[in-house]
Chain A
Amino acid sequence: MDKPFAITLDVGSSLANKTGSWRTLRPVYLDRLPPCNHACPAGENIQSWLYHAESGDYAAAWRTLTLDNPLPAVMGRVCYHPCETACNRGQLDEAVGINSVERFLGDQALKRGWKFAPPPAESGKRVLVVGAGPSGLSAAYHLRRLGHRVKIIEAGPLAGGMMRFGIPKYRLPREVLDAEIKRILDLGVELELKRKVTDILATMREGSFDAAFLAVGAHIAKRAYIPAGSAARMLDAVSVLRSMEGDEKPLLGRRVVVYGGGNTALDVARTAKRLGASESIIVYRRTRERMPAHDFEVEEALQEGVLIKWLSTIKNMADEGTLTVEKMQLDEKGFPQPTGEFETLEADSLVLALGQDVDLSLLDKVPGLIIEDGVVKVGPNMMTGYPGLFAGGDMVPSERTVTVGIGHGKKAARHIDAWLSGKTYAPPPKHEVAEYDKLNTWYYADASKTVRPTLSLARRTSTFEEVVKGLDETNALFEARRCLSCGNCFECDNCYGVCPDNAVIKLGPGKRFEFNYDFCKGCGLCVSECPCGAIKMIPETI
Chain B
Amino acid sequence: MEMQPIKFYQTATFTVGNRLLGEHERSVQANMRRTNSLNSGHRACQGCGEALGARYAIDAAMRASDSQLAAVNATGCLEVFSTPYPETSWQIPWIHSLFGNAAAVASGVAAAMRVKGQEDVRVIAQGGDGGTTDIGFGCLSGMFERNDDVLYICYDNEAYMNTGVQRSSATPPAARTATTAAVGTAPGNVFGTGKNVPLIAMAHCIPYVATASVANLRDLEFKVTKAMPIRGSRYIHIHVPCPLGWGSAPADTIKVARLAVESGLFPLFEAEHGEFVNSTKIRRKVPVDEYLSLQKRFAHLFAKPVDSTRIALIQAIADHNVKRFELLG
Chains A and B share a contact (CB less than 8 Å): yes
Chain A residues near B (Cβ < 8 Å): 6, 9-19, 22, 54-55, 442-445, 447, 478, 481-483, 490-494, 496-498, 500-503, 506, 508-509, 516, 518-519, 521-525, 527-529, 531
Having A13-B87, A15-B40, A497-B27, one finds 19 other A-B pairs with CB under 8 Å, namely: A11-B92, A13-B88, A14-B82, A15-B41, A443-B15, A444-B10, A444-B11, A445-B9, A445-B14, A492-B15, A494-B15, A494-B17, A496-B30, A497-B30, A502-B39, A502-B55, A525-B253, A525-B254, A528-B255
Q: Which of B16, B18, B40, B90 has the most CB of A within 10 A?
A: B40
Q: In the complex, are the beta carbons of A502 and B86 less than 8 A apart?
A: no
**Is there contact, CB below 8 Å, between B88 and A11?**
yes
Q: Decide if B91 touches A490 in the complex (CB within 8 Å).
A: no
For B215-237 the 0/1 string (1 means CB < 8 A from A) is 00100000000000000000000
Tell me how far the C-beta of B63 lies from the nearest C-beta in chain A, rounded to whole angstroms.
14
User: Given contacts A9-B88, A445-B8, A497-B27, is CB(A503)–CB(B40) below 8 Å?
Assistant: yes
Q: Are B253 and A13 in contact (CB under 8 A)?
A: no
Chain B residues with CB below 8 A from A17, complex form: 41-43, 87
The answer to whether B88 touches A15 (Cβ under 8 A) is no
Mark B261-295 against chain A: 1 for CB-CB distance below 8 A, else 0.
00000000000000000000000000000000000
Q: Is the CB–CB distance between A16 and B46 below 8 Å? A: no
Find chain A residues with CB under 8 A from B15 CB: 443, 492-494, 531
A-B pairs with lowest CB-CB distance, top 8: A493-B17, A497-B16, A524-B251, A14-B41, A523-B46, A523-B47, A519-B40, A497-B29
In chain B, what residue has the closest Cβ to A23? B46
A19 and B82 CA atoms in complex are apart in Å by 13
**Complex: A516 Cα to B86 Cα, angstroms:** 22
Closest B residue to A11 by CB, please name it: B91
A481 to B249, CA, bound (A): 32
A481 to B8, CA, bound (A): 8
A–B pairs, 14, beta carbons within 8 Å: A11-B91, A15-B40, A17-B42, A17-B87, A19-B42, A492-B18, A498-B52, A500-B52, A501-B42, A502-B40, A503-B40, A521-B46, A523-B250, A523-B251
Docked pose: A509 CA to B27 CA in angstroms: 15
A136–chain B nearest beta-carbon distance, Å:
38
The answer to whether B40 and A14 have CB atoms under 8 Å apart is yes
Contact of A490 among B19, B86, B251 (CB under 8 A): B19
Query: Contacts of A11 on B, CB cut-off 8 Å?
Result: 88, 90-92
A368 vs B253: C-alpha distance in the bound complex, in angstroms?
A: 64
Whole-angstrom distance between the alpha carbons of A525 and B255 in the complex? 9
Q: Does B32 contact A (CB under 8 A)?
A: yes
Are the C-beta atoms of A483 and B85 separated by less than 8 Å? no
Chain A CB within 8 A of B44 CB: yes
Q: Judging by beta carbons under 8 Å apart, are B11 and A14 in contact?
A: no
Is the pair B44, A12 in contact by a Cβ cutoff of 8 Å? no
Majority SS of interface residues in chain B? Answer: loop
In Å, the complex CA distance between A464 and B38 comes to: 66
Cβ-based interface call for B83 (8 A): yes
Does A9 contact B254, Cβ atoms closer than 8 Å? no
- The answer to whether A482 and B10 touch across the interface, beta carbons within 8 angstroms, is yes
Q: Does B36 contact A (CB under 8 A)?
A: yes
B residues within 8 A CB of A16?
Answer: 41, 86-87
Indicate if the CB atoms of A12 and B91 lie closer than 8 Å: yes
Complex: A15 Cα to B241 Cα, angstroms: 25
Give chain A residues whose Cβ lies under 8 Å from the Cβ of B32.
506, 508
Q: How far is the CB of B238 from chain A (nearest CB, A)?
A: 14
Q: Which parts of B43-73 form the interface with A (CB within 8 Å)?
A: 43-44, 46-49, 51-52, 55
B20 within 8 A of A: yes
Inter-chain contacts of B48 with A (CB < 8 A): 500
The reply to whether A493 and B40 form a contact with Cβ atoms under 8 Å apart is no
Give A17's nearest chain B residue, CB to CB: B41
Q: Are A502's CB and B38's CB within 8 A? A: yes
CB-CB < 8 A to B86: which residues of A? 6, 9, 13, 16
In Å, the complex CA distance between A508 and B17 comes to 12
Contact call B39/A493, Cβ cutoff below 8 A: no
Contact A14 B87 (CB under 8 A): yes
The verdict on A528 contacting B9 (CB below 8 Å), with A493-B15, A502-B38, A522-B46 known, is no
A529-B254 in contact (CB<8A)? yes
Q: What's the Cα separation between A522 and B45 when bound, in Å?
A: 10
**Residue B12 at the A interface, CB < 8 A?**
yes
B258 interface residue per 8 A CB criterion: yes
| 0/1 string, B304-325, CB within 8 A of A gives 1 | 0000000000000000000000
Q: Does B89 contact A (CB under 8 A)?
A: yes
